[in-house]
Amino acid sequence: MSVVSYNINQQVGVISINNPPLNLLGHALRDGILNAITAAQNDASKALVIICEGRTFCAGADIKEFNQTPKAPSLPDLIAAVEASTKPVIAALHGSALGGGFELALSCHYRLALSSAKVGLPEVKLGLLPGASGTQRVPRLVGAKAALDFMTTGTPISAAKALDIGLLDELTEDNLRAAALNYAQRLIEQQANCRRVSELSVDSSSYDADFFAEYRAKLAKKMRGQKAPQCIVNCVEAATQRPYAEGLNFEREQFMALKQAPQSAALKHVFFAQTQAKNGAKKYQAQVVSDQTVTSVKRVGVIGAGTMGTGIAMCFANAGLQVTLVEINQQVLDSGMVMINKRYQSTHAKGRLTQVQMQQRLQSITPTMDIQDLAQADLVIEAVVENLAVKQQVFKQLDNICAPHAIFASNTSYLDIEAMADEVKRPHQLVGMHFFSPANIMPLLEVVQARRTDNATLAAVMAVAKAINKTAIVAGVCYGFIGNRIYSKYLREANLCLIEGASVEQVDRAMFEFGMAMGPFSVADLAGLDIGYKARQTLSAEALGATKNYRVPNLLVEQGRLGQKTGAGFYRYDATTGKREVDQQVMIWVEEAALAEGIQRSPMSDETIVKRLIGAVTDEGNQVLNDGIAQSASDIDLAFIFGYGFPAYRGGPMFYATQVTAAE
């Protein structure tokens, strides 16, 4: 069956696209649209409509063609032909019109959309820019600032907002095909011209002499280290200064430079890794045996109303699930609900949540001190104190309360899931669900598969992870699982660099400039140095290794310096502003520690620090793979990007290591 069909309906030529599931603009589809546009120039039609079958308008170019020489017609060729049509062309949008799909719509003379549709140019998320005229057309329609806000974030916007800023011309509530035909008939009756975006100029009131420099500076902070956003600014600036054809050539030059740059390869790697992770539920569903049933999670129980428990509860409430929040202490429970309310109020104040949505989410969470209220839960997650005996006792209770189909999950960061499974009658239905703090914001979820965890449980948990918009990776059981096990080696190497010659500030600066969200010592202060201290107390001497690995952080804790919460850790923090300050006393202690360890401190370069810390991560990552704890190197990359602030534009530590090796 052809992916493109064409017929005339009462003077309106209808170009129908049917290339499921996403109507991606591969070669066959481009060729079909071009043939239809060409044929329509000489037939009885007086206006044309481009419309898609299925769940969405064209959701972008086919990413599988990115590393291939495109077959003619290319997307820019098609777009030029659509705009050159002598008959008005209307794009009828539904679902998500993204990337090249939306650039195709922008080449049409008019744009109509279902009110439920979204439009976007997400190329920046792949280290690219809209390379088929998007950077030249969007500013001509909406002005410089709105164009940059739209393209540098890459986040799709609603049809209502697109109409408001000028990207769309009309909305309809239902029956898109009928609305598009009616719209076309009106244009025919009005003898409307072919309104070509390329013939417009950018509204000069949307920018001034300082606008582009200021926007670049803002992006340099907000999207630190990324090249594509800055190139988008270059292109929009070109749209304000050059004729359309010259701007188009400039856009193509910038696009090709980005396409061949390492950042795009890294971000495409991350894209495919995320896609693979999102298909986790299907993978385990396919492995479920005939006598197993995959639980459909509708009602969730969360035990513990502290920072983690409340954040986890919000994750499920945000997805429209009913949550029962259990806490044994009334004061803690009340404080937890106040915390949840404040978080939602803050989101509402920023315009990211309506009053109705906020109330719906708050009403989805039922606080209680009675654990018996979890009897009908489909999934129960404990987020109590990080103590194995306490967690085991919780699961023993749940075993006698919950329905037989209920899944049990622990939010532990380090503890043995196998030892928890030993305490229940349904070990095949017990799993780790390690959320990262703050749980309602951080996108990573480690799903820990114990030896007896079955595929039906994994399929259910991976499905609910997708429902709450988490990037979920499956880990095996070991101390720290994937993320914390590897990150502990990163911190150890940071401490070794410190005791062997670097300063606290230098290590943090080197890793920050590499692209990490924060330096390792800043992260340690934020999390609390006592957390690592307590964790080390549970380890054997063999697991701890040499005392030089942890002598300095232990010394700080024993001095009462636990990080930001006590006003001092690796840094000192102003009591009023919370501003971080370098504390020379720490370096005095570092030098004393080095002396005690018999270490002769010597200066080291930032490059050496980065190489050592990333090397520690990749070495342990390879060991984690060899031990079967991680299923793929890309899962480790996702863990570090979404859980620990590794720069996505470097592709994750494992991918980055392969690129560095290839370049040597």
| Rounded distance between C-alpha atoms, residue 612 and residue 498, angstroms | 12
Three-state DSSP at 602 gives coil
What phi, psi does 118 have (nearest 5°)?
A: -130, 150
Kindly name the residue from 53, 83, 123, 493 that is annotated as catalytic. 123
Cα 213 to the center of its chain, rounded Å:
28
> What separation in angstroms does the CA of 294 have from each of 154, 285, 416, 458?
35, 8, 25, 9
| Rounded distance between C-alpha atoms, residue 114 and residue 46, angstroms | 23
- DSSP element (H, E) containing 419: helix 417-421
Kindly name the residue from 65, 83, 103, 170 that is annotated as catalytic. 103
Q: Is 597 an annotated catalytic residue?
A: no
> What separation in angstroms does the CA of 635 have from each of 32, 38, 466, 610, 651?
38, 47, 15, 22, 11
| Rounded distance between C-alpha atoms, residue 310 and residue 304, angstroms | 8
| DSSP code, position 72 | S
Q: Is 592 an annotated catalytic residue?
A: no
Torsion from C-alpha of 448, 450, 452, 454, nearest 10 degrees: 20
Closest C-alpha among 538, 528, 514 to residue 610: 514
Closest C-alpha among 492, 544, 545 to residue 520: 492
Cβ 337 vs Cβ 309: under 8 Å: no
Retrieve residue 194's tokens.
């072919």
| Rounded distance between C-alpha atoms, residue 100 and residue 137, angstroms | 13
List beta partners, residue 228. none
CA contacts within 13 A on the Cβ side of 259: 14
What phi, psi does 9 have (nearest 5°)?
A: -125, 100
Please give the single-letter amino acid code of residue 399. D
Contacts of 237-246 with CB under 8 Å at 24 or more apart are 237/144, 237/212, 238/135, 238/136, 239/135, 239/136, 239/139, 239/140, 239/144, 239/147, 239/202, 240/139, 240/144, 240/202, 240/204, 240/207, 244/136, 244/140, 244/198, 244/199
| Rounded distance between C-alpha atoms, residue 294 and residue 455, angstroms | 9
> What separation in angstroms does the CA of 44 have from each of 48, 87, 428, 644?
11, 11, 66, 61
Cβ 232 vs Cβ 126: under 8 Å: no
Phi-psi category of residue 631: left, alpha or beta, with phi > 0 → left and psi -120 to 50 → alpha: alpha
Active site residues: 103, 123
